[in-house]
Amino acid sequence: MTDHSTSPSAMDGLSDAAVRAELDRLRDSIDNIDAAVVHMLAERFKCTQQVGRLKATHHLPPADPAREARQITRLRELAESAKLDPAFAEKLLNFIIAEVIRHHETIANSSAP
Ligand SMILES: C=C(O[C@@H]1C=C(C(=O)O)C=C[C@H]1O)C(=O)O
């Protein structure tokens, strides 16, 4: 049993069962959101793989820094309006793009003569 007198929290006043139920409800939503993120990322990578094949076929470079700069500007604005830390949004996009570029390099190298 938790000693609420020594561990104040936003849930003070709720029974242990109510706290558990609220935690479970929130975690169910978190699990659904994580699943959506995974599915969206999978779809994004399907598109970027097609871009990678197109670039390799037409001898275009794997990375496009100008396009990335536009995406970062746009994502930072979207993050701000969604009350998400723009610096976090930028880091996340850069992390994803770095993986995409790695894939594009692999595709280009595997289709090189
Ligand atoms: C997908 C592309 O290739 C790279 C990956 C990008 C991305 O993941 O959004 C953006 C620009 C490129 O550096 C593209 O050029 O559109």
Q: Is residue 11 assigned to a domain? A: no
Residue 17 falls inside a structural domain: no
Q: What CATH number corresponds to the domain at position 63?
A: 1.20.59.10
Give domain status of residue 93, yes or no. yes
Q: Could you tell me the distance, in angstroms and rounded to a whole number, from the CA of residue 112 to the centre of ligand 1?
A: 20
The count of domains in the chain is 1
* Domain membership flag for residue 30: no
Its ipTM equals 0.99
Does residue 45 lie in a domain region? yes
Q: CA 15, CA 44: separation in Å to the nearest integer?
A: 43
Helices in 1-113 by DSSP H: which ranges? Answer: 16-57, 65-81, 86-110
Task: Look at residue 15 and tell me if it is in a domain.
Answer: no
Boundaries of domain holding 76 = 39-110
Tell me the pLDDT tens digit for each residue of 52-106: 999 999 999 999 999 999 999 999 999 999 999 999 999 999 999 999 999 999 9
Pocket test of ligand 1: the residue of 41, 49, 60, 97 to mutate, having most ligand atoms within 8 Å of its CB, is 97
Whether this prediction's pTM lies above 0.90 is answered by: no
- Please choose, from the candidates 41, 97, 46, 42, the residue with its C-alpha nearest in 3D space to the C-alpha of residue 69: 97
Query: Do 46 and 87 contact (CB within 8 A), yes or no?
Result: no
| Domain assignment of residue 31, yes or no | no
